[in-house]
């Protein structure tokens, strides 16, 4: 999609990260479909707070949006994505982190978390993004006096990354593409140097 396009954004999960992205997306004029494991009715109050561009749906509804944001706890990922088989080129923004417990990351060996998640969603075009930022930062206006808050992203599909970059820019963030999902290890909890780094791209 061209830069400046309006997107539909689905969230698979409705926790702090999903809500923060949804709030920024709605504020930028994008339609948002939130989903969780408890069903649409459980999201009524949240949808009301997010305003008229937000709605609640099933995981299948969220997955069919232009961009689906995967934002559930690590152990919930297989169940969250397992019931929707037809990924078929859909773009999934992987905002998860492989936490075993608070502050304790799971060792995946040579595989990155997003490579593991991509394998659970055959046909999906997975772009790692938003996992390095605290949700309390994401929900704020990313436009600073000296520049824009950075969203680092990684993925194996150039077109998908361009689309996610356009979405990121539409919300006022500055996207920085660091390469493929393997390079996305730099964004991974448990040693990734970009985790928790709230960077600002200075205005030119």
* Helices and strands (DSSP H and E) totals, the chain: 7, 12
Q: What pTM, to 2 d.p., does this model score?
A: 0.95
Question: Given this model, what pLDDT does residue 58 score?
Answer: 95
With respect to residue 89, please indicate whether it lies within any of the assigned structural domains: yes
Give the bridge partners for 56, in sequence order.
34
With respect to residue 147, please indicate whether it lies within any of the assigned structural domains: yes
The alpha carbon of residue 202 and the mean position of all alpha carbons in its chain are separated, in whole angstroms, by 23
With respect to residue 2, please indicate whether it lies within any of the assigned structural domains: no
Question: Given this model, what pLDDT does residue 30 score?
Answer: 98
With respect to residue 40, please indicate whether it lies within any of the assigned structural domains: yes
The domain containing residue 24 runs over which residues? 8-202
Question: Given this model, what pLDDT does residue 157 score?
Answer: 98
Please report, in tens digits, the pLDDT of each residue of the chain (204 residues total). Answer: 444 579 999 999 999 999 999 999 999 999 999 999 999 999 999 999 999 999 999 999 999 999 999 999 999 999 999 987 789 999 999 999 999 988 899 999 999 999 999 999 999 999 999 999 999 889 888 999 899 999 999 999 999 999 999 999 999 999 999 999 999 999 999 999 999 999 999 987
With respect to residue 105, please indicate whether it lies within any of the assigned structural domains: yes
Total domains in the chain come to 1
Q: What is the CATH number of the domain that holds 44?
A: 3.40.50.720
Residue 81 and residue 14: Cα distance in Å, rounded? 14
Residue 150 vs residues 9, 49, 116, 176: alpha-carbon distances, Å: 20, 26, 25, 7
Residue 30 and residue 22: Cα distance in Å, rounded? 9
Residue 115 vs residues 52, 97, 152, 160, 188: alpha-carbon distances, Å: 35, 12, 17, 15, 11
Alpha helices in the chain (DSSP H): 16-27, 44-50, 59-63, 77-82, 113-120, 135-138, 158-170
Cα-based angle 85, 37, 109 (whole degrees, multiple of 5): 65
159-166 long-range Cβ contacts below 8 angstroms, 24+ apart = 159/125, 160/91, 160/125, 160/126, 160/127, 161/127, 163/1, 163/66, 163/67, 163/91, 164/67, 164/91, 164/93, 164/127, 164/129, 166/1, 166/2, 166/3, 166/4, 166/5
With respect to residue 1, please indicate whether it lies within any of the assigned structural domains: no
- Of 110, 154, 112, give the one whose Cα is nearest residue 130: 154
Question: Given this model, what pLDDT does residue 2 score?
Answer: 41
Whether the Cβ atoms of residue 179 and residue 158 lie closer than 8 Å to each other: no
């Amino acid at each position: 999609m061209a830069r400046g396009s309006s997107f539909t954004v689905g969230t698979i999960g409705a926790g702090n990260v999903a809500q923060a992205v949804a709030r920024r997306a709605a504020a930028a004029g994008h339609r948002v479909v939130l989903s969780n494991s408890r069903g649409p009715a459980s999201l009524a109050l949240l949808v009301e707070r997010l305003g008229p561009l937000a709605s609640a749906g099933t995981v299948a509804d969220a997955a069919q949006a232009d961009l689906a944001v995967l934002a559930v706890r690590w152990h919930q990922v297989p169940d969250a994505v397992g019931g929707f088989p037809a990924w078929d080129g859909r773009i999934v923004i992987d905002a998860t982190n492989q936490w075993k417990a608070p502050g304790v990351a799971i060792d995946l060996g040579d595989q990155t978390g997003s490579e593991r998640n991509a394998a659970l969603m055959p046909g999906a075009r997975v772009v790692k993004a938003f996992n390095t930022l605290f949700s309390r930062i994401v929900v704020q206006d990313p436009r600073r006096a000296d520049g824009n808050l950075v969203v680092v992203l990684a993925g194996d599909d150039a077109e998908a990354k361009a689309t996610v970059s356009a979405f990121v820019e539409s919300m006022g963030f500055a996207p920085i593409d660091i390469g493929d999902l393997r390079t996305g290890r730099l964004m991974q909890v448990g040693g990734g140097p970009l985790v928790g780094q709230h960077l600002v791209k200075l205005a030119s």
